[in-house]
Amino acid sequence: MSETRAAILIAQDDSGDDLRLSPILIQEGYRVEALTATRPFLAEFRRLTPTLILLDSGLRGGNVFALCARLREQGDVPILMLVPDDEAMIERAYSVGATDVLLKPVRTAILRRRVRTLIDGQRDALRAQAYEARMQQIFERNRSIQLIVNAKGGQIVDANPAACAFYGYTRDELRSKTIRDLEVPSQTKQETSLFHFHHRAASGQIHDVKIFSSPFESDGQTLIYMIVHDVTRRRKPEAGQSPTTDVLAEALRNTAAALSSTLDQNEVLDRILEQVNLVVPGESANIMLIEAGVARVARSRGYENRLGTISSEDVAMNVRETPTLNWMVENNRALVIPDVDEFTGWITKAPYPDWLKSYVAAPIRIGNYVIGFLNIDSSVPHSFSELEADHLQIFADQAAIAIRNSRLFERVRRQAAEMERRVFQRTAELDFERGQLSAIMDAMTEGVAYTEYIGGEYRTRYVNQALVHMTGYDVEEWISQSVNLFRSKDMSDEDFAHLLEAIGENLVSRGDWIYEARLQRKDGTEFDAMTITTAIRSGKTQIVGAVTVVRDISREKALRQERERFVAYASHELRTPITNLKTRLYLMRRQPERMEEHMRVLETVTDRMKRLVEDLLDISRFERGIIKLEFKDVILQDLLRNVVQIQQPEAERKQLALAMKFEEAPIHVHADPERLAQVITNLIINAINYTPDGNGQIEVRLSKVCDVTGNLALVEVEDCGVGIAEEHLPHIFQPFYRVVSQVEGAGLGLSITREIVELHGGEIEVTSRLGVGSTFRFWLPLLDQEEEA
Ligand code: ADP
């Protein structure tokens, strides 16, 4: 700090009534030296080298003005003179070289300000001086040719010694010229450019020069600072005297272009071998690539005609153990062996061939790694020098980029192929799984729909075949339009909206929704369905879709109803005769005289009960599929005659005519005669029961008919009784189904009848008109002619 402080030398009259300057300036941070006489002043001045001098004109012991003049001769240190307010004194002070004057008595503030201004100014001036001196030295001593030229007119303002030497003029001679005076007008346009000129020296010699210039301001005028490069020597080889550089540049350019045009590694390597021959011509060349510390020849050229050498593709060398290769790795640069015989480190044993006399090779580097080598061989000693090694290294670095690119590409290609293979495999697996799944789905009897939940609504993405059959909507319709499966007939928009809301809530809260309803098919018909919808979630919370399984429970429902009917009818049918039995037993005790009559009734009742129980057993046997038929050759005419004969008394009791109509030629069927008799009996009993008493006619007919399945026997039982209303017709063959009437019955006869006919491979149907009569007819397959025989 103290070193950089400004030093002030003060000469002041210590008896003066003025304020004392030193304390004030010391307070300001200056280094102050105060003297009270003029005599030791010069000596002190030399010792102190002050930044500022303060001289009091009233100082004793000498002429202060003379001192000021002496100091001024010593240098540019600013001198502040303290003078009384007297014009003559002020003028005198300036005339002896004072930089400024300060009037006495001195005011503190003014003193401070004035001192600061002078010291700062002095500092700047010193700095500028030092800078200029430095610049001057650079200008003078620098070996580059430098000129300073006036921007206006091109007058040479200054020239350094190097310029004088180059142009062969003295500095003054150059100063008398303009830059144009040096220039030689060019013959052709191309020869000169913005920076490129021809300058003539004093000797008349013409130089090729390149000029770099920059303008600057000095004393209000614009000057140009020029550095002149003599490129005469450099340009000559460029013009064709040294072909190697040109060829190298050209080959590198070609290599870059050639290599970037393919990404196939072998092709890249072949092109490198082609191009390297232009840079470093040799008899043969090869590229080795390193893998796990072993360098193998990946590609080679020019070994084909070398008899006695092993195939270069077989050559493999351990890099660490092969001095040449190891040297390149360790030194990370190209190696030249101008004469193999003189090189002690050279491996003489195979695989290096005898003919090889000169060798140059460069490591192929990617980043810090050596990935291979580019080797050039020659059978002539001293074919290669360090120059070739340098060139080969430049070339190898270029080639490395292409090799790296091809390797990256190869890796990407391999990855892509692997990816493709995996995708293919996975797709095949998925296809198989999907095939299995869809086979399972389509084999299901339950309908299955998968719906996706996107943007607040469910959209069907998949339905199985069962659902298509069940609903009549095809897959296309399910997927393209949203079929409202859950919308039953007559459901209002409001109800349907509520239903959908309920479904949504259930899926969110419980994860599923179970619903039994009558659903509509496309054609408007309905079926009873049980649906179970299960939410599908991604992660724990978010619902992404739902699977709905639809079961057609129409049959189940019908069975359930049948069973309910059974319980109702069976209990009713059994209670009635039991009540009857109890009544008769009571009466038998009370009226022993009418015992005969009561016994008869008991018998009838127990018979009826027996029939009922038998029918129930039959029904249950049919249901469980355990009925056993005893098939025989049956002649239908005989069977009909027997049954009609048995039922004749009952018909007569009701005053009904029971007639038979058939041809005599026997009609054979393969049947259980007992069961077949039961069928015909049931139909005749129904005909008798459902025809009002008196004058009715019942006809039993038998004939042979022919249809697509072959020859059939047709049995018809026709009555002119009460008939059956149309709405009952589809149901009368169901067990326990009855039309309410006076006639007693359990509603089992027709269902047993149908089961028996169907077990014989036949069919039964009815046509009927209410109040007109009914005709029941059934067909049985005829026994084959041969079998008949
Ligand atoms: P059940 O005669 O014991 O009631 P069925 O199964 O034999 O039971 O007959 C079922 C129903 O079919 C009867 O209740 C009756 O209403 C009707 N039915 C059967 N045969 C005739 C017929 N020949 N004429 C009119 N209705 C008949």
Asked if residues 293 and 318 have their Cβ atoms less than 8 Å apart, the reply is yes
Mean pLDDT calculated for residue range 600-611? 88
Helix (H) or strand (E) holding 475: helix 475-480
Which pLDDT value is given to residue 201? Answer: 87
On the question of pLDDT at 236 being above 50, the answer is no
CA distance 48 to 33: 8
- Position with higher pLDDT, 233 vs 779: 779
On the question of pLDDT at 615 being above 80, the answer is yes
Q: What is the pTM of this model?
A: 0.40
Mean pLDDT calculated for residue range 214-223? 82
On the question of pLDDT at 104 being above 50, the answer is yes
Q: Is the CB of 721 under 6 A from ligand 1?
A: yes
Q: How far is the CA of 689 from the centre of ligand 1 (A)?
A: 8
Which residues, in sequence order, are bridge partners of residue 361? Answer: 335, 375
> To the nearest whole number, what is the mean pLDDT of the chain?
84
- Residue 128 CB: number of other CB atoms within 10 A? 10
HSE at residue 211, side-chain half, CA atoms within 13 A, is: 23
**570 burial class (0-12, 13-18, 19+ CB within 10 angstroms)?**
middle
Asked if residues 336 and 324 have their Cβ atoms less than 8 Å apart, the reply is no
On the question of pLDDT at 768 being above 90, the answer is yes
Q: How far is the CA of 691 from the centre of ligand 1 (A)?
A: 11
The encoded tokens of residue 144 equal 């580059």
Q: Is the CB of 722 under 6 A from ligand 1?
A: yes
Of these ranges, 9-23, 51-65, 744-758, the one predicted with the greatest mean pLDDT is: 744-758
Q: How far is the CA of 763 from the centre of ligand 1 (A)?
A: 18
Which pLDDT value is given to residue 307? Answer: 52
The residue to mutate among 699, 722, 750, 764, having the most atoms of ligand 1 within 8 angstroms of its beta carbon, is 750
Backbone angles phi, psi at 226, to 5 degrees: -120, 135
Please report the sign of the dihedral spanned by the C-alpha atoms of residue 102, residue 103, residue 107, residue 110: negative
Which pLDDT value is given to residue 566? Answer: 74
- Position with higher pLDDT, 312 vs 520: 520
Mean pLDDT calculated for residue range 412-421? 88
Q: How far is the CA of 660 from the centre of ligand 1 (A)?
A: 21
pLDDT-based confidence at residue 312 (cuts at 50, 70, 90): low
Helix (H) or strand (E) holding 706: strand 696-707
CA distance 639 to 617: 24
Q: Is the CB of 687 under 6 A from ligand 1?
A: yes
Q: Is the CB of 690 under 6 A from ligand 1?
A: yes
The residue to mutate among 691, 738, 753, having the most atoms of ligand 1 within 8 angstroms of its beta carbon, is 738
Which pLDDT value is given to residue 121? Answer: 81
Q: Is the CB of 738 under 6 A from ligand 1?
A: yes
Which pLDDT value is given to residue 349? Answer: 46
pLDDT-based confidence at residue 245 (cuts at 50, 70, 90): low
Which pLDDT value is given to residue 242? Answer: 43
CA distance 735 to 738: 9
Alpha helices in 142-242 (DSSP H): 161-167, 171-175, 179-182, 232-236
Give the number of the atom of ligand 1 that is nearest the alpha carbon of residue 723. Answer: 25
On the question of pLDDT at 17 being above 60, the answer is no
Scored b (16 or more CB within 10 A) or e, 603-617 reads: eebeebbeebeebbe
Give the number of the atom of ligand 1 that is nearest the alpha carbon of residue 747. Answer: 8
Mean pLDDT calculated for residue range 414-420? 89
Contacts of 740 (CB under 8 A, 6+ apart): none
The residue to mutate among 683, 716, 732, 753, having the most atoms of ligand 1 within 8 angstroms of its beta carbon, is 732
Nearest partner of 739 among 752, 754, 724, judged by Cα: 724
Q: How far is the CA of 686 from the centre of ligand 1 (A)?
A: 6
- Position with higher pLDDT, 165 vs 1: 165
Give the number of the atom of ligand 1 that is nearest the alpha carbon of residue 750. Answer: 6
**CA distances (Å), origin 227, targets 208, 326, 699:** 13, 47, 141
Strand, coil or helix: what is 118? Answer: helix
Name the closest-CA residue to atom 25, ligand 1: 723
Which pLDDT value is given to residue 351? Answer: 56
Which pLDDT value is given to residue 345? Answer: 58
Which pLDDT value is given to residue 398? Answer: 85
pLDDT-based confidence at residue 48 (cuts at 50, 70, 90): confident
Q: Is the CB of 746 under 6 A from ligand 1?
A: yes
Q: Is the CB of 739 under 6 A from ligand 1?
A: yes
Q: Is the CB of 749 under 6 A from ligand 1?
A: yes
Q: Is the CB of 691 under 6 A from ligand 1?
A: no
Which pLDDT value is given to residue 531? Answer: 92
Name the closest-CA residue to atom 13, ligand 1: 738
Helix (H) or strand (E) holding 502: helix 493-509
Q: How far is the CA of 758 from the centre of ligand 1 (A)?
A: 19
pLDDT digit string, tens, across residues 108-137 = 888 888 888 888 887 787 788 888 888 888
Asked if residues 476 and 575 have their Cβ atoms less than 8 Å apart, the reply is no
Q: Is the CB of 686 under 6 A from ligand 1?
A: yes
